[in-house]
Structure 1
Amino acid sequence: MRSPRKVLVATVAAALVLSVVAAPPAAGAARDEFRVLPYLQSPSASGIRVTWFTEDGEPGRLTVLGPGGHRTYEVDGEPQAALAYTDAERAQEIPGLDQGSWLLGESSYKHTELVTGLRPGKQYSYTVRQGDATVTGRFRTAPTADDWRHLRLIAMSDLETEPLGRVQKREWAPGALAGAARPSAEPGSAWDRVHGTTTLSGARVLRYPLTEDEGLRRNLAVVEQRAPDAVLFTGDLVQGGGYQPGWDEFFRNTAGEGGDLLSQVPVLPAFGNWESFSALNGGYGTPADRTPVVRSRAKFHAYFDGPGNGTPAHQDNYYRIDYGPLTILTLDSNNGEPDDRAANYPAEEKLSGREYTGPGADTQENFTREEYEKAGGTDLSDYRPGSGQWHWVERQLADARAKGQAVIVQFHHVPYSSGEHGLPMNHALTSGQGGTPMRVYHSLFERYGVAAVISGHSEMFERSFVDENGDGTGVHYYDVGVSGDGLRGVRKESASPGSPPLRYNPYSQWTADQSEPEQWQDTDGVPRLTGGGKHYGHLEIDVDRGRGDRARITLTPVHVFPVLDRNLAVTRTERRTYHDQTVIDLDRTGRPIG
């Protein structure tokens, strides 16, 4: 394997960190020269990583220009065997798409450069030249913790990209309703003819009026218009981490011909459960062979390079980013120990209703550490007390608090959820992937003054608030799993149509499903959607500096609303906000004020 050749042609105290505006090459040139356009990772006040992929491995040239001069790197590509297509992927057929039209070339080479020695708070430009194509952009370095006025982050989860998403419209589970009734979901109805309907839990329901791909791209377009400083992708980036077309589709929409957000804005990714799932290449494998899981996680590691965490075997799994006054901790919630599964609990011992005896130890029953390591995997990182990740988290929290930082944490499995994955392993209705074991961190988070925890997994929009000691100051927990895949509602007491909500999460403060009723207006016999309901969206996080070094965090749930004409066709989408904006004031030490 070749080592990347990096030639420093000129010097600069240059900088690139957040807020890039990239100009991608023409679609044909991009297709010919770039498999993945340049995208940004690991932002700081003094550096950033720029990564891109090609199919021939020929050297590319990265140039950074700004105050102090310029520096240019020539970077060879490293072959990525983990990103090769399988026979099953080559043979796959997707109704509505020409067979194989979504596949790229057979070879994949990674070009990556960590640019360091940069100045904070300055604007620079960059170019990446690969063959006959050039990508240009401009960017601004992160501020220091002492010199800043306003920051903006966007948090998203459960994009779950795949080529099928270009033609697939997901089921639109009914939630709370206001005004006129929803359109009929019966076969042959007006909605069925335009957007389709399906059966969910024994009842006919509407399909959403946008495909998964359209929903994601319009969501990302809104994000780009808001010019965030960084975007948090809280797991389940793809519909199967071991499914290469899913990764191709992810970058097609974020650093490719479908959109270039990540060429403009640094990405902070977290491992989700789908990043361990190999889709048509064997799923989670079998107890005797977990190589599909190993291959899946290897693809995540090929694409993303997080800052070091002191444990090389856990590189990229969990990491810390300091951006001005913010410390952002990304954790890996995929492996709790001891390993557990629903089958360990006899039927007569399983919980029912709202019974709760504890969070449990494991967020997934799909594979064990022993099985994974037998298949050659070496990167699993337990998150439970006493583990390396746990001690790392406690050290980072203590250090951030000593430095007066505001703290936001992200990981995939939402600890407090009213949705599909909100029940522990010993409950009769468990999904086998419940997020409750991550509640083990709450006491630590509250003690060190974490402002908010961002997760996904249940594919719904929800906010919970937990104040363990009852002093009025606690932690806000979000599920933001509405980026471009499912649009689920709250868990019901049973699968029977019309069953009431289970209300298993006593800490829930707001859900789009129940707190934002769909508003339909009957106009000349045609139902028109005017507001409310579940839609694709994201969480906008604004941080503003106040007097006396105090800061305020404002968290705004945003959705992309489809405007329909009288024929039920989508004429446009609009950025709208839900009615649950949360404001967290911080004291001078970065702690939330009750």
Structure 2
Amino acid sequence: MRRVLAVAALFALATAPTAAAAPDAAAAPATDLRVEPYLQNPSGDGMTVTWFSTSATPGELTVRGPGLGRGQVHRTTPQRQPALDYTEAERQQQIAGLPQGSWLHPGRNHKHAVDVTGLRPDTRYVYTVRQGGEVFTDVFQTAPSVDGWRRIRFVAMADAETEPLGRVNRREWAPGSLAPGSRPRPSAESSDASPWAASFGTTTLSQVPVLRYALTEDEGYRRNLDVVESRRPDFVMMPGDLVQGGGYQPGWDEFFRQNAGELGNVLSSRPIVPAIGNWENFGALNGGYGTPADRSPVVRARAKYHAYFDPPANDTPAHAGNYHRIDYGPVTLITLDSSNGEPDERRTDVPADQRATGREYRGPGTDTQDNVTRAEYEAAGGTDLADLNPGSPQWQWAERELADARAAGQIVFVQFHHAPFSSGEHGLPMYHALSSGQGGTPMRQYHELFERHGVTAVLSGHSEMFERSFVDTDGDGVGVHYYDVGVAGDGLRGERRNGPSLHDPLLRYNPYRQWTADQDEPEVWQDVDGVRQLVAGGKHYGHLEVDVERLAPHRGRGNGPAKGGAVAKVTFRPVHVFPVLDADYELVRAERRVYDDQVVVHLDADGRVVTG
């Protein structure tokens, strides 16, 4: 739902003569709001409101609500963002199925960002942005106080990987398990083409013909966001791979078209808490990862991410925006950057005949990617690439923030992109024969910190699947739940096979695996009105919904905990958006459904998980 009133445009339409418009009228931007307002950095007394305009016209933000009298008024000085300009390759790009350039925006990118302060906790405020001839109005809610909270809901989703191609592209749909009694999945073989294949297409995945999904990437993500908005979360966590290439400007345009623009405004009323993913380090159309002699595409990619997001500072100014902490009442959100580890590793470091095979595990390794080294990155002018390993500034910062949050009795969640425990494509260390070169195992080094400091859950993405792992290395029954929530709107992958083909057996490299949508939510196919339909189960776009609920009347030590010592509980619901189709395979509706793997944990007055 769009909330923009284009005052100047409406006035012009009402008063325009019937004669043809001036020759240059079509060249004028249809709107000065290039990115509609979105929210960041929620707290009990403040919120950051950010928007982008096509012109350098100053904007105005007015906030009204309790304690503000006649309201706060902030006038902005827009900041030009050259890092967000289109490249010639982007201007000339052709996308089959779309009119050339129809996805490009006129004008430039000018940033407006206002840190609103002096607000009351757990209070609803109305804000209005005036930009050029347009007026945008929405609401936001501040975080509750540590002592006065009742319930907090948030969602986590990764791997949206937005791009204009997503408007017409249906992703490969790797077959998962099949329920007993189910009809067979429709055929993807060209020699036996099914109506599903004729309607949505097929492709080859891991040497095997597979069906394409019923929804385009664009529609799948949009329907996912519709469900998110209907559930009214307090904030949205996005642990990486927001766009299909951080250095690809149309990918960012598409992200905000969905989240704060033409198609939806989820982030206009619910703040985003983002993390950097591997795609945010990638130039895509503009040079990919570059070359060892020139890593400037990576520098430009990360610069775009930093242009859009301004999270709280950490202890290292050079790493500003990479890793950060947000306290939302009793909840602490720790975000890390899993993009780079040192010493650098490459798959070629281990000779082919000495690489691990099968389930052999020799340790986590040190690096999550073999594309870029920090030395190469800094030679191209970059300064912000942070090491993830023990002893690094990021590691030391994480130690301090986790210890501080635990001392304060907070309920702690951590997010970063590369899932440390994964059964998917990116679950293997660099030295493994089947490694993708983008494995998340080096992030396993943080587990001891997480378990010692009572982290409730870790949220990641990367393998583009839905998975939950549970790790309890000290065997006391209280461990950490790890989620891969990489099903926002791009790929719909399955568990890794022990070989190059989908016909190979499952590898099951992750020993902590508890559940995957791929194998534990079997597909149920039935013939409905003479057409083979999926009626339940399977892999779909979705997100993790997390409810944090207070059980005791007052939070804090000595304040009368509920039975068993618990003063709060956390419920994890893996949500998928199920497409219901008619007999012509047209979409009837998209239903919110919850997979069977719902998990509930209880917390004591110190914010730690308790057993029983």
TM-score using structure 2 length: 0.92
User: What RMSD over aligned residues (CA atoms) do the two structures have, in Å?
Assistant: 1.3
Equivalent residue number for residue 169 of structure 1: 170
State which of 234, 247, 250 in structure 2 corresponds to 1:229: 234
Work out the CA distance in 1 between the residues paired with 2:259 and 2:279: 18
Contact 2:529–2:583 at 8 Å: present in 1 too?
no
The unaligned stretches of length 5 or more in structure 2 are 11-28, 556-566
After superposition, the C-alpha distances for 1:187-218 in whole angstroms (9 at most, x for unaligned) are 34311221111111221111000000000000
Equivalent residue number for residue 201 of structure 1: 206
Work out the CA distance in 1 between the residues paired with 2:523 and 2:237: 28
Give the letter for the 1:432 counterpart: G
Contact 2:6–2:135 at 8 Å: present in 1 too?
no
Contact 1:85–1:106 at 8 Å: present in 2 too?
no
Give the deviation of 1:31 after TM superposition: 4.5
Equivalent residue number for residue 40 of structure 1: 39
Give the deviation of 1:523 after TM superposition: 3.6
Give the deviation of 1:106 after TM superposition: 4.1
1:569 aligns with 2:549: no
Equivalent residue number for residue 490 of structure 2: 485
Equivalent residue number for residue 555 of structure 1: 572
Give the deviation of 1:498 after TM superposition: 1.8
Equivalent residue number for residue 251 of structure 1: 256
The unaligned stretches of length 5 or more in structure 1 are 1-20
Work out the CA distance in 2 between the residues paired with 1:497 and 1:472: 36
Equivalent residue number for residue 454 of structure 1: 459
After superposition, the C-alpha distances for 1:351-409 in whole angstroms (9 at most, x for unaligned) are 00000010100001000000000000000111111011111111111111111100000
Equivalent residue number for residue 9 of structure 1: none
Work out the CA distance in 2 between the residues paired with 1:122 and 1:205: 50
Give the letter for the 1:185 counterpart: A
Contact 1:197–1:206 at 8 Å: present in 2 too?
yes
Q: Tell which deviates more after alignment, 545-554 or 384-393.
A: 545-554
Equivalent residue number for residue 533 of structure 1: 538
Contact 1:352–1:428 at 8 Å: present in 2 too?
yes
Give the letter for the 2:516 counterpart: T
Give the letter for the 1:195 counterpart: F
1:411 aligns with 2:410: no
Work out the CA distance in 2 between the residues paired with 1:560 and 1:227: 16
Equivalent residue number for residue 428 of structure 1: 433
For residue 32 of structure 1, give the secondary structure of its aligned residue in structure 2. coil
Work out the CA distance in 2 between the residues paired with 1:163 and 1:489: 25
Equivalent residue number for residue 510 of structure 1: 515
Work out the CA distance in 1 between the residues paired with 2:101 and 2:218: 18
Q: Tell which deviates more after alignment, 124-133 or 23-32.
A: 23-32
Identity value in percent:
64
Work out the CA distance in 1 between the residues paired with 2:5 and 2:297: 35
Give the letter for the 1:565 counterpart: D
Give the deviation of 1:567 after TM superposition: 2.4
After superposition, the C-alpha distances for 1:272-325 in whole angstroms (9 at most, x for unaligned) are 000000001000000000000000000000000001112111111010010011
For residue 610 of structure 2, give the secondary structure of its aligned residue in structure 1. coil
Q: How many residues align?
A: 574
Work out the CA distance in 1 between the residues paired with 2:30 and 2:244: 23
Work out the CA distance in 1 between the residues paired with 2:296 and 2:133: 39
For residue 64 of structure 2, give the secondary structure of its aligned residue in structure 1. strand
Equivalent residue number for residue 450 of structure 2: 445
Give the deviation of 1:497 after TM superposition: 4.0
Work out the CA distance in 1 between the residues paired with 2:2 and 2:316: 34
Equivalent residue number for residue 309 of structure 1: 314
Work out the CA distance in 2 between the residues paired with 1:569 and 1:495: 34
Cα distance, 1:242–1:36 mapped onto 2, change above 3 Å: same
Give the deviation of 1:117 after TM superposition: 1.9
After superposition, the C-alpha distances for 1:327-365 in whole angstroms (9 at most, x for unaligned) are 000110001110111010001210000000101000010
Matches within 5 A, 1:205-220: 205-220=210-225
For residue 521 of structure 1, give the secondary structure of its aligned residue in structure 2. strand
Give the deviation of 1:105 after TM superposition: 1.8
For residue 389 of structure 1, give the secondary structure of its aligned residue in structure 2. helix
For residue 240 of structure 1, give the secondary structure of its aligned residue in structure 2. coil
Cα distance, 1:525–1:498 mapped onto 2, change above 3 Å: farther
For residue 468 of structure 1, give the secondary structure of its aligned residue in structure 2. coil
Cα distance, 1:135–1:106 mapped onto 2, change above 3 Å: closer
Give the letter for the 1:64 counterpart: V
Give the letter for the 2:483 counterpart: Y
1:587 aligns with 2:604: yes
Give the letter for the 2:146 counterpart: A
Give the deviation of 1:477 after TM superposition: 0.1
For residue 547 of structure 1, give the secondary structure of its aligned residue in structure 2. coil
Give the letter for the 1:81 counterpart: P
Give the deviation of 1:252 after TM superposition: 0.5
Equivalent residue number for residue 3 of structure 1: none
Equivalent residue number for residue 95 of structure 1: 96
Equivalent residue number for residue 186 of structure 1: 189
Work out the CA distance in 2 between the residues paired with 1:250 and 1:559: 20
Matches within 5 A, 1:49-448: 49-68=48-67, 69=69, 70-178=71-179, 179-187=182-190, 188-448=193-453
Contact 2:186–2:197 at 8 Å: present in 1 too?
no
Give the letter for the 2:46 counterpart: G
Cα distance, 1:96–1:26 mapped onto 2, change above 3 Å: farther
Q: Tell which deviates more after alignment, 272-281 or 62-71.
A: 62-71
Work out the CA distance in 1 between the residues paired with 2:212 and 2:88: 32
Give the deviation of 1:39 after TM superposition: 0.5
Contact 1:22–1:264 at 8 Å: present in 2 too?
no
Give the letter for the 1:544 counterpart: E
Give the deviation of 1:121 after TM superposition: 1.6
